Chains A and B, each alone.
Chain A
């Protein structure tokens, strides 16, 4: 689903200046870098980290939305949510495959997720407390993801850029679906309207945090921009998201929970209140309300499934041996 605001990427690299210059020249010429091309170690590491975080976000992101599949209020919504969560799993799969082209295995990445070494988008460490959260996540969280991922379709690394094209199409469908859920609730009974306003109140600020720290505090952004892994700064994307979302909320008669939000004619965009960065870092560092539960759920699925994966391998070996014996 998302991974702007890459946390803790290490872009350090040790190649000669000539090598780096030649590489930069290819980047500047907008050539796509492909798996077998020579690349600086820092470029490779940054991508492994970013694509891995992105893949993990898709997988962990299945949990908060999956929380409502069994309680979806109509069969149409149940089918749509199931399909949506399945799409997220599919995104995880392409992304792990894209990362594997850089020489890291899905198993390795999974172990890093489960050990807490690899991060995933902090947005999924918030709980889904009502059905309205499903609509709001589609509208805001997938909306924020799209803002970030559209530029990734032009990322310098070919496999990542190509994966993003399909991912973006699906995300844009998810966003419309989320907005449609929200629209029904906003025009529904009083209880439904309260439910959706409450969900908006809870998800608005975390959605803004999805774009990562302010540019001044974003440690590794500059190198990523230079390598054209990243095309726009965190703050620029956040602004774009706010400007697109405010009129959508107004259309629905919903109130965004920020008294300082107002149109600034001079800059041609909205000004907004201060983001609580203390909360952001607290959740990133593992102290959000759902961090432990999310990893616990992933770990349980992985551990409980170990015998299945072992059996599949054992059967494949036996089958191969039988085939060989028959030849």
Chain B
């Protein structure tokens, strides 16, 4: 059960963030980003699908990826709070992406040695994807931080808004004691180094210790997740048992 719950946490992180990115599709600041953000969303949703499928099999109750994604409410979702944050402006979206990818890239690096074949497989693909998410989002954080007065101010606001949600990334959560999954706490120094490097180039300062906001791993979310799920699940739930 611990593995099932730990897989759900991971899958929920990926689906929720993928969904958030997909909300941008058709509304991005430039055409190139209208292509880039769906691309990253597709990576994340693709990873979520494999993880849900695996979780369903581990659970052995016959739940497939859609049952897990569409038929759990917000109190049952186990994603971290960072990924459910609303898109805000482009600075918030890119910083959120950087924070997450800077965590997931070393996480999947560690996952390459997993004893679980599915995790190992996911890691092999996701590690490359997360590396380019860091590059893409990181370059934007630098451009915006170093761009105009307005963009620098927006970037600072984004840090102010999101930084308190980063601590939760390092909570072991349901994965505590699950050998097949990497330790989250061990990722901290690598994450820290990536962010410090990018912030330095962006002219941003690392915030002083802020009070960490956590709770996602036990289903204590912010108000925003319920709205997201209400939209995402509406059609699926309106037609119980239908095949699409």
Contact = CB atoms under 8 A, between A and B. Distances in A.
B129 interface: no
B147 A314 contact: yes
A82 B31 contact: no
A192 B146 contact: no
A29 interface: no
Q: Is the interface of A mostly helix, strand, loop or mixed?
A: helix
Contacts of A70: 19, 22-23, 231-232
B35 A311 contact: no
Interface string A57-75: 0010011001001111111
B231 A315 contact: no
B66 interface: yes
Contacts of B31: 59, 89, 92-93, 96, 106
Contacts of A314: 147-148, 151
Contact of A71 (B15, B28, B90, B231): B231
Given A86-B38, A96-B31, A62 B147 contact: no
B147 A312 contact: yes
Contact of A66 (B26, B45, B69): B26
A265 to B, nearest CB: 39
B52 interface: yes
Interface in A276-327: 297, 300-301, 304-315, 318-319
A79 B29 contact: no
Interface in A153-174: none
Contacts of B243: 184, 188
Contact of A82 (B42, B90, B231, B241): B42
A37 B187 CA distance: 58
Contact of A305 (B30, B41, B49, B146): B30
B143 A307 contact: no
A85 B38 CA distance: 9
Contact of B35 (A93, A106, A309): A93
A83 interface: yes
Which of B29, B146, B235, B242 counts the most A-chain CB atoms under 10 A from its CB? B29
A258 to B, nearest CB: 28
B27 A311 contact: no
B122 interface: no
Contact of B144 (A69, A74, A308): A308
B244 interface: yes
B132 to A, nearest CB: 16
Given A82-B45, A86-B25, A311 B236 contact: no
A309 B22 contact: no
Given A79-B46, A82-B22, A93-B35, A74 B148 contact: no
A191 interface: yes
Contact of B38 (A82, A131, A188): A82
A240 interface: no
Nearest to B45: A79
Contacts of B29: 301, 304-306, 308-309
B52 A75 contact: yes
A151 interface: no
10 contacts: A66-B26, A71-B231, A72-B235, A74-B244, A86-B39, A89-B34, A188-B242, A305-B29, A306-B29, A308-B151
Interface of A: 59, 62-63, 66, 69-79, 82-83, 85-86, 89-90, 92-93, 96, 106, 131, 181, 184-185, 188-189, 191-192, 297, 300-301, 304-315, 318-319
Interface of B: 15, 19, 22-23, 25-35, 38-39, 41-42, 45-46, 48-49, 52, 65-66, 69-70, 89-90, 142-144, 146-148, 150-151, 154, 231-232, 234-236, 239, 241-244
